[in-house]
């Protein structure tokens, strides 16, 4: 059965990315070239098997749906889109590794890939192939969704290089840019940890990951029914943020040791946005609008997803203008790049999971 074959390849790629992560970190620590070569090789193996897995799933979907190849693209639910996002991210990383002949970056990208794939496994997210609802049965599906995710992956790259740029370029703890990146990093880690705790606390009582995030977000920590726990979580968060702020310099030393200059980081940030922005505009906004026009007769309705896409678009348009026209280069634009990706995450996940939760009655 091709279904099991595709999941075998998915499993293989998850394992490969996790091994690659260990190898890349080892390469950073010991600087042995052989380790780096093996890390690259393992990443490529993971990438190939993931490509095969996606293609197999595509074929499977095609055979079940009987609606043509274009409409069988495996990109129609959270699981499939996360997998494709990882695929794009690894592809972007491999391109960067070969272009810039620098492997250090792998230690930052492969963990993201491994974590996302592991998160899919642990969270028990539905991996079933779901038939398409009529609104999704359109040839725009492939172009719209695929281009959106390619641009998201580009923006993810610019996010990490932008953050690294800020880490490398900030000197004083009182600097706004230093405060910005330490708080940003802390919030990111804290939100992930809080969601992990939610999962561990409530996994028995909920059916799906979506329900967990919609109904139980931060219920284990900040929004716990016991105010003592809520305050404790808040206290721990403040302490953690302070810790990152106090010892952020150590991170700077690690990254400076990577042989990546601030200029290259800035260049990669710019180039990935300069690639991602037109792809996002065309695939995400324009194709989305045309599709909506053909399906519902409204190319723009200001629904939360559309509005957040537009806000994201504003962020990156602002990035490009401030950089090109005002000579705003450096830390300020890097902050815009980082914020832009926060908007991307919100467009992709926040709108579906948070806003719809806010508008539902069930969870209260």
Partner 1 sequence: MEKGKNKSIIDLVWDLFASVKLAVVIFSLIAVTSMVGTVLEQDAEPERNIQVLVKMFGVGHETAHSIYSVFDSLGFMNMYHSWWFVTFLLLFAANLIVCSLDRLPRILKLVRENVRPLSLEHLEKMSIRKSFAIKGSASSIKDDVTSSINKIGFKPSKAAAENGLQFYAEKGNFTRLGVYITHLSILIILAGAIIGLKFGFNGTLNLPEGQTAPVAFKDKGTQVPLGFELRCDNFDVEYYGDSDMPKSYRSWLTILKDGREVLKKVISVNDPLTYEGITFYQSSYGSVGENMNNGIIVLRVISSDGRSNKVNTKIGGTFTIPGSSIEGHVSNFSPALSVDQSGRPFTYDAGLKNPAIHVELPNVGGKPYSGWIFKRYPQTWRLPDGSSVEFLDYWGVEYTGLQVRKDPGVWIVYLGCIIMAAGLYITFFMSHKRLWVNVADGKGAAKIVIGASANRNRAAFERDIEKLAGLLGEATKGENR
CB atoms within 10 A of CB 32: 11
Residue 11 half-sphere exposure toward CB, CA atoms < 13 A: 6
Q: Is 311 in the site for partner 1 (CB under 8 A)?
A: yes
Q: Is 68 in the site for partner 1 (CB under 8 A)?
A: no
- As given in the structure block, the two tokens for residue 130 are 């779901």
Of 132 and 206, which has the nearer Cβ to partner 1? 132
Out of 15, 318, 330, 332, the only residue in the binding site for partner 1 (CB under 8 A) is: 318
At closest approach, how far in Å is the CB of 277 from partner 1? 7
Which residues inside 80-139 make contact with partner 1, applying CB under 8 A? 131, 133-135, 137-138
Out of 15, 115, 232, 310, the only residue in the binding site for partner 1 (CB under 8 A) is: 310
Which residues inside 238-267 make contact with partner 1, applying CB under 8 A? none
Q: Degrees (nearest 5) of the Cα angle 113, 214, 293? A: 80
Q: Is 315 in the site for partner 1 (CB under 8 A)?
A: yes
The residue with tokens 């609606």 is 67
DSSP-based three-state secondary structure for 102: coil
Q: CA of 44: how far to CAs of 87, 110, 120, in Å?
A: 11, 11, 21
Q: 2-30 vs 106-123: helix axis angle to the nearest 10?
A: 140
Total residues at interface with partner 1 (CB under 8 A): 42
Find the DSSP H helices in the chain.
2-30, 33-65, 78-100, 106-123, 140-169, 176-202, 209-216, 227-256, 262-279, 287-296, 304-325, 331-345, 356-358
Q: Is 289 in the site for partner 1 (CB under 8 A)?
A: yes
- Go through 101-110 and write b for each residue having 16 or more CB atoms within 10 A of its CB, e for each that does not: ebbbbbbbbb
At closest approach, how far in Å is the CB of 243 from partner 1? 28
Of 9 and 316, which has the nearer Cβ to partner 1? 316
Residues 83 and 80: their CA atoms lie apart, in Å, by: 5
Out of 63, 121, 171, 293, the only residue in the binding site for partner 1 (CB under 8 A) is: 293
Q: Is 307 in the site for partner 1 (CB under 8 A)?
A: yes
Q: Is 222 in the site for partner 1 (CB under 8 A)?
A: no
Q: Stretches 207-215, 227-235, 249-257, 288-296: which one binds partner 1 (CB under 8 A)? A: 288-296
- As given in the structure block, the two tokens for residue 172 are 């004083």
At closest approach, how far in Å is the CB of 148 from partner 1? 15
Q: Is 362 in the site for partner 1 (CB under 8 A)?
A: no
Q: Largest alpha-carbon pair distance within the chain? A: 61
Q: Stretches 78-86, 161-169, 207-215, 287-295: which one binds partner 1 (CB under 8 A)? A: 287-295
Q: Where does this chain bind partner 1 (CB under 8 A)?
A: 131, 133-135, 137-138, 274-275, 277-278, 281-282, 286, 289-290, 293-300, 302, 304, 307-308, 310-311, 314-315, 317-318, 321, 325-326, 351, 355, 358-359, 361, 364
């Amino acid at each position: 059965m091709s279904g099991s074959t595709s999941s075998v390849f998915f499993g293989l790629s998850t394992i490969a990315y996790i091994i690659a992560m260990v190898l890349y970190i080892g390469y950073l620590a010991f600087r042995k070239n052989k380790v780096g070569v093996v890390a690259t090789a393992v990443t490529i193996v993971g990438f190939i098997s993931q490509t095969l897995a996606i293609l197999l799933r595509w074929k499977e979907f095609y055979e079940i749906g009987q609606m043509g190849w274009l409409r069988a693209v495996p990109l129609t639910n959270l699981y499939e889109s996360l997998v494709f996002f990882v695929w794009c991210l690894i592809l972007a990383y491999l391109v960067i590794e070969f272009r810039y002949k620098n492997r250090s970056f792998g230690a930052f990208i492969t963990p993201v890939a491994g974590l996302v794939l592991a998160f899919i496994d642990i969270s028990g997210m539905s991996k079933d192939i779901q038939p398409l609802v009529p609104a999704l049965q359109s040839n725009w599906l492939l172009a719209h969704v695929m281009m959106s995710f390619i641009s998201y992956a580009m923006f993810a790259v610019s996010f990490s290089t932008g953050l690294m740029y800020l880490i490398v370029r900030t000197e004083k703890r009182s600097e706004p840019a230093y405060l910005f990146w330490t708080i940003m990093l802390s919030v990111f880690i804290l939100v992930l940890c809080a969601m992990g705790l939610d999962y561990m606390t409530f996994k028995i009582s909920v059916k799906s990951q979506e329900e967990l995030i919609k109904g139980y977000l931060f219920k284990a920590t900040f929004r716990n029914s016991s105010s003592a726990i809520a305050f404790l979580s808040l206290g721990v968060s403040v302490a953690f943020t302070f810790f990152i702020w106090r010892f952020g310099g150590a991170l700077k030393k690690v990254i400076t040791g990577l042989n990546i200059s601030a200029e290259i980081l800035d260049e990669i940030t710019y180039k990935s946005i300069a690639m991602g922005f037109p792809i996002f505009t065309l695939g995400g906004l324009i194709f989305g609008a045309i599709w909506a026009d053909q399906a519902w007769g409204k190319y723009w309705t200001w629904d939360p997803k559309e509005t957040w896409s537009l806000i994201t678009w504003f962020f990156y348009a602002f990035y490009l203008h401030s950089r090109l026209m005002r000579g705003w280069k450096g830390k300020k634009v890097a902050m815009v790049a980082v914020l832009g990706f926060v908007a991307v995450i919100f467009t992709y996940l926040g709108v579906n999971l948070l806003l719809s939760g806010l508008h539902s009655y069930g969870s209260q």
